[in-house]
Amino acid sequence: MQLYIGNKNYSSWSMRPWVLLKQAGIPFDEVMVRFDSFEPDSKFKAELARHAPTGRVPLLVDDGFAVWDTLAIAEYLAERFPAKPLWPADVKARARARSICAEMHAGFGALRSHFPMNIEAALPEVGERVLREQPAVRADLDRLVQMWSELLQQHGGPLLFGEFTIADAYFAPVAMRLLTYRPPLPPQIAAYVQRVRALPGVEAWCRDALAEEDFLPFEEPYRTAR
């Protein structure tokens, strides 16, 4: 099983299945395809087009069978490894976990756009300015705090559904954004972010991201150098 990913410092979509596989203890081979550009003639697009029509990461290839899109990969892994508790066991909790993953998948556009993932950077001043100037980002952050607060209270923590699930892997890149831009957070939400950061799979991803030292200007709306 191979997982094709982009640069770990920037690729929030790649982070989700990578952390999921690591946390679940599912063996896989990592294939990192560097972001050179996203133009049709880029090396990045050419490499991925050899395996799937989308030309995007993440991409899971299992014995020659390609699965793309983070939700599809998560569901495939849950079915492929049914002994692994990737979704919550309770049917209603499982439905809620799928609902919030789908909400993240399709929404939070302002937060994604103005708070791009950049694990290596520390940009609290950018976070402060964006929250001051962008009401849509404030709305996304408010929804995130509401969602996480309700789940942590309902399931008692330490993670969204008690133990680690796909939902925590899905929101791990969001936690990294919050650590980079440092918006003000309620104590219980800040504590959850730190618990996500301390997960072995997340720690391993971040360690690799910090070791890349690959500054990509087209991924850096707020900096001109490291």
pLDDT tens-digit map of 28-74: 999 999 999 888 889 999 999 999 999 999 999 999 999 999 999 99
Residue 3 and residue 71: Cα distance in Å, rounded?
14
DSSP state of 217: G
DSSP state of 68: E
Residue 205 and residue 21: Cα distance in Å, rounded?
12
CB atoms closer than 10 angstroms to residue 204 = 15
91-106 and 70-80 helices, crossing angle to 10°: 150
pTM: 0.96
Q: What is the b/e burial string over 87-122, where b = at least 16 CB atoms within 10 angstroms of the residue's CB?
A: bbeeeebbebbbebbeebeeebebbbebbbbbbbbe
Q: Which CATH number describes the domain made up of 91-207?
A: 1.20.1050.10
- The beta-strand segments (E) located in 42-181 are 59-62, 65-68
- Stated as kind and residue range, the H or E segment containing 5 is strand 2-5
Task: Work out whether strand 59-62 and strand 65-68 pair parallel, antiparallel, or are unpaired.
Answer: antiparallel
CATH topology of domain 2-84: Glutaredoxin (3.40.30)
State what percent of residues in the chain have pLDDT above 70. Answer: 100
Residue spans in the chain of domains classed CATH 3.40.30.10:
2-84
Residue spans in the chain of domains classed CATH 1.20.1050.10:
91-207
- The beta-strand segments (E) located in 10-143 are 29-32, 59-62, 65-68
The predicted structure's pLDDT at residue 121: 98
The predicted structure's pLDDT at residue 38: 87
Name 150's Cβ contacts closer than 8 Å, sequence gap at least 6.
Answer: none
Residue 75 and residue 86: Cα distance in Å, rounded?
9
Task: Work out whether strand 59-62 and strand 2-5 pair parallel, antiparallel, or are unpaired.
Answer: antiparallel
Question: Could you report the per-residue pLDDT of 113-172, keeping only the tens digit for each?
Answer: 999 999 999 999 999 999 999 999 999 999 999 999 999 999 999 999 999 999 999 999
